[in-house]
Amino acid sequence: MQLESMYQEIILDHYRDPHGRGLREPYDGESHQVNPTCGDEVTLRVHLDGDVVQDVSYDGLGCSISQASQSVLHDLVVGKPVPQALAIGADFLTLLQSKGDPDVAESMEESLDDAVAFVGVGKYPARIKCALLGWMALKDALGQARIIESGGRDE
Partner 1 sequence: MSVETTFSAAFDVEAVRKDFPILERTVRNGRRLVYLDSGATSQRPRQTMDAEREYYERHNAAVHRGAHQLAEEATDLYESARERIGAFVGSPGNEIVFTKNSTESINLVAYSMSNAATSGAAAARFVVGPGDEVVVTEMEHHANLLPWQMLCQRTGATLKWFGLTDDGRLDLSDVDGVITERTKVVALVHQSNILGTVNPLEQITRRAHEVGALVVLDAAQSVPHMPVDVRDLGVDFLVFSGHKMLGPSGIGVLWGRHDLLDAMPPFLTGGSMIEVVRMEGSTFAPPPQRFEAGVPMTAQAIGLGAAVDYLSALGMSAVAEHERELTAYALEALQQRLRGVRIIGPTDTVARGGAVSFVVDGIHPHDVGQVLDDQGIAVRVGHHCAWPVVRRYGVPATTRATFYIYNDTSDVDALVAGVEHAQRFFGVA
Binding site for partner 1 (CB under 8 A): 1-3, 6-7, 12, 16, 37-40, 61-65, 124, 127, 130
Name which of 3 and 153 has its Cβ closer to partner 1.
3
Q: In this complex, which beta carbon is closest to partner 1, that of residue 39 or of residue 50?
A: 39
Closer of 16 and 99 to partner 1 (Cβ):
16
Q: How far is the CB of 63 from partner 1 (least distance, A)?
A: 4
Using omega within 30 degrees of 0 as the cis cutoff, is the peptide bond preceding 81 cis? no
What DSSP string runs through 68-93?
HHHHHHHHHHTTSBHHHHHHHHHHHH
Closest contact distance (angstroms) between CB of 13 and partner 1 is 11
Q: How far is the CB of 94 from partner 1 (least distance, A)?
A: 23
Q: Which regions of 13-142 does DSSP assign to beta strands (E)? A: 29-35, 40-49, 52-61
Strand 52-61 relative to strand 29-35: parallel, antiparallel, unpaired? Answer: unpaired
